Amino acid sequence: MTADTMETARARIRLFERSGPSVAWQPIGRAEPAVVGENGLAWGDTFRGMAKAGEAVKTEGDRRTPAGIYRIGRSFGAAPSARPGHLVLRPGRSICVDDPASPAYNTILSPAPGATLRGEDMGAERLYRRGLVIDYPSDAGRRAGSCIFLHVWRGPANGTAGCVALPEPRVAALQELSGRGAVIAILPKRALDRFEGCLPDGIR
């Protein structure tokens, strides 16, 4: 997934596959519109060393999507699914903890009876009716950001709170990638040459 700059919410996403680590990546379909954080991108915690002067590094609440390369995690949504590990969201029972002071920071929990968790009630958010967890390895001590997902968008002109968002039919299709070793590269175009040899040819 590429954005023209670190400051824009508009992006493009394209799918590639290969049959083995020594085989060339092959594109599947065309690039399609996507959106990222309403304030653009910021380098994710494990990629902070890639940042050049003037480029933001991800922090909690900055409304930026973490740039870098991450594994695609489990699928989630409002409805049950036969996909292994699929998480069915329920209001008040599916909380993604965004409190850096909590030992559960950046995880999705179901609160124990009488317990209170500070975080996002995923089951109450309609944009999470379909989605995928992006396995973003955060750092609570640096308040490096939390709860990063691929989910349904509001539209092509509406950025997110820090996630990646797409039209619902595309999210539904991409959910089939969960559990298959898929990764997502989230990068500004001007940084593609910093990942030479790590990305499929022809990405621009």
pLDDT tens digits, one per residue of 57-85? 999 999 999 999 999 999 999 999 999 99
Distance between CA atoms of 99 and 92, rounded to whole angstroms?
A: 17
pLDDT at residue number 8 = 97
Distance between CA atoms of 121 and 139, rounded to whole angstroms?
A: 21
pLDDT at residue number 204 = 64
pLDDT-based confidence at residue 20 (cuts at 50, 70, 90): confident
Question: Comparing C-alpha atoms, which of 145, 132, 118, 60 is closest to residue 89?
Answer: 132
Mean pLDDT of 154-174: 97
pLDDT at residue number 117 = 80
Q: State yes or no: pLDDT of 165 exceeds 70.
A: yes
Q: Which residue has the higher pLDDT, 201 or 157?
A: 157
Alpha helices in the chain (DSSP H): 168-174
Number of neighbouring beta carbons within 10 Å of residue 172: 16
Q: Which residue has the higher pLDDT, 64 or 176?
A: 64
Contact by Cβ (8 Å): 164, 150? yes
Contact by Cβ (8 Å): 68, 62? no
Which amino acid is it at 76? Answer: F
Distance between CA atoms of 45 and 29, rounded to whole angstroms?
A: 31
Phi, psi of 194 (to 5 degrees): -75, -10
pLDDT-based confidence at residue 178 (cuts at 50, 70, 90): confident
List residues bridging with 33 in a β-sheet: 12
